[in-house]
Amino acid sequence: MIKKASLLTALSVTAFSGWAQDSGSDNLVVTANRFQQPVNTVLAPTEVVTREDIDRWGARTLTDVMRRLPGVDVAENGGMGQTSYIYIRGAEARHTLVLIDGIPLAKSGITGIADFSQIPVSLIERIEMIRGPRSAVYGADAIGGVINIITQNDTPGGKVEAGIGSNHYQKYDATVRQKLGEDTLATVAGSFTDTRGYNIRPQSTYSVDSDRDGFRNKTFWAGLNHQFNQEISGFVRGYGYSNKTGYDAGYTDGGDERQVYNHTYETGLTYSGDVFSSQLTGSYQRYKDYNYAGPLGLYNEGTSLDDMTQRNLQWGNSLALGAGTVSAGIDWQQQKLTSADNDYSNKYKRNNTGYYLTTQQKLDTVTLEGSVRGDDNDQFGWNGTWQAAAGWEFVPDYRFTVSYGTGFQAPTLGQLYGQERLFILSNPDLSAEKSRQVEVGLEGLTGPVNWRLSAYQNKIKNLIDYYYDDDTFLGTYYNIQSATIKGVELTGSFDTGVVSHRITLGYLDPRRDSDNEVLAHRSRQQFKYQLDWTMFGLDMDAAWQYFGKSYDNNTNQFADTQRRMPSYSLVDLSASYPVTSNLTVRGKIANLFDKDYETVYGYHTAGREYTLSGSYTF
């Protein structure tokens, strides 16, 4: 199916043509303001990763992809499939909103952190990342930024891929997109990934922890897109994955196996007129997360289960108005969670309705952007957020930007109402975390170099922390912290002959207000340098990433001092060669110099790894 490009999109591209040198589909984004616009017109720092980028980089996991992007820190409890955390611009890992096809990802745990390690990279066709607050557009969680993972591809064709690698890694992937008549596109995709892994905690004194900690994933995706007429189209799709991960319990008969099942179903209708478009979508997610002791089995003593369902209904509307676009809509979400083990079971439910209005207008050399949103949650009340930004193209190809935005993070159901199996008491007075960020930026095209310099400050209050009572052996979550995060970020890209360069420099100062202590798992300095070139048909990619010193923890009732984590550098090298017009062979060496480093204390990383794959397109 080839979708008709509406006049609404054309008007948006034309209105901002001064900053849209290339208005192809790869340079149009929807995540920033919930209407389609050229990426160069977005006033917030924005990154776009395509499927071609993922293949060129040889990325096996979502964290492999995210680690390359500006302002991103990654902390992982070991290798593939292990729990991982993404920190954007120094905000907490739970302060990143993760969307899949524009719909919030269900998060079953008590921490409220999206588990990136469980999202199969085979699902991903495109990633759009916005750095900075976006609660005024999306509601809760979007304090540090938004990551939108897009799974849909409208180009007919097919692909079969197989790969092998270190630690007995193997991957098999197949996708078929077939037109059924003139107006219907059917897609079926599936993948299988398996690795025996390695021992992520070899220093453990427990014999049960001496095994390899492997990972296995099975993924299936299917969908139909249909164009009813020139203005109306619809879709229905579903995907699911099952993951099995081995980890180290740290004690005898403790949980050392994790089994995750995700099933998601979505449907929607879209109207695209000359100056107005509207979309209504509905989705259902079921997320089951088992943790159990491998020697005892899944359905025996010691097994815990977080069983979550999430329903979303979204109605969004966009109107070409003046020299820009206005978007407004309603988001409704219902979450149900059952958290249980052999002895305890807790059930939770809550509803949230959000109302938003966004706009962007270009007035001569000035671009104005604004958003307001209200969220009505039946558990912790009303939260209003807003943001505003302005960009001034003071000379051709040079723009000054300034923005201010508020954000909030909702407490999780377990934090509000306790969790008996974890001996956590309820705290119905728990408030949402709230943030205020201001940012100034300067960007331009100087000779061949496209660059952007940003400086920002994010103040977060009501930070949720955990307290454990040694006398009662019970814990509770409280609003007892606040933090101030300051940062400077420089990104640049340019070409020299056949070589493309991408550079990121970042400095971060994230501190807890109560004692000026640096927040954990944030590198104070980041340097990232990526080279891509094609010569004699060989497509090459080299990436160098430096992460400065950080801390593994913050002081609390369990730790009197901070544990310093050393800086580290990584070099990845990948190459691909088209044997024929349909057959491509790819290879990668990750951590080329076999750097020994950790991002979470006590959890070893994989060292040097090799992968080799071949793909056939048709």
Which position has the token pair 């010569």?
A: 535
Q: Tell me how many helices (H) and strands (E) the chain has.
A: 5, 33
pLDDT at 118 over 50: yes
- 341 annotated as ligand-binding: no
The token pair at 499 is: 């070589």
- Return the pLDDT at 294: 87
Q: Are 232 and 221 in contact (CB under 8 A)?
A: no
What gap in Å lies between CA 433 and CA 574, rounded to an integer?
41
pLDDT at 21 over 60: no
- Return the pLDDT at 25: 53
Of 360, 361, 413, 357, residue with least CA distance to 384: 357
pLDDT at 602 over 90: yes
Q: Write the CB contacts of 335 (distance below 8 Å, at least 6 apart in sequence).
A: 106, 308, 309, 310, 348, 349, 350, 351, 352, 413
* 415-443 pLDDT tens trace: 988 999 899 999 988 999 999 999 999 99
pLDDT band at 7 (very low <50, low <70, confident <90, very high): very low
* AA identity, residue 336: K
Buried b (16+ CB within 10 A) or exposed e, 364-386: eeebbbbbbbbbebebbeebebe
Q: Are 420 and 411 in contact (CB under 8 A)?
A: no
Q: Set out the domains of the chain in order of their start, with CATH numbers.
A: 33-617 (2.40.170.20)
What gap in Å lies between CA 130 and CA 142, rounded to an integer?
10
* 234-262 pLDDT tens trace: 999 999 999 999 999 877 777 899 999 99
Mean pLDDT of the chain: 92
Of 607, 606, 518, 496, residue with least CA distance to 563: 518
**Alpha helices, DSSP H only, in 181-291?**
none
Evaluate the CA torsion angle 26, 32, 38, 41 in order and state its sign.
Answer: negative
How large is the C-alpha radius of gyration of the chain? 24
* 322-334 pLDDT tens trace: 899 999 999 999 9
- 601 annotated as ligand-binding: no
pLDDT at 3 over 80: no
- 256 annotated as ligand-binding: yes
- 153 annotated as ligand-binding: no
pLDDT at 48 over 70: yes
Distances (CA, A) of 172 to 127, 189, 215, 587: 22, 11, 14, 15
pTM of this prediction?
0.93
- Return the pLDDT at 10: 41
- 247 annotated as ligand-binding: yes
Share of the chain above pLDDT 90, in %: 83
- 199 annotated as ligand-binding: yes
What gap in Å lies between CA 387 and CA 438, rounded to an integer?
10
For 141, which DSSP code? T
- Return the pLDDT at 31: 94
- Return the pLDDT at 252: 73
Work out the average pLDDT over 364-387.
Answer: 93
Work out the average pLDDT over 546-570.
Answer: 96
- 211 annotated as ligand-binding: yes
pLDDT at 11 over 60: no
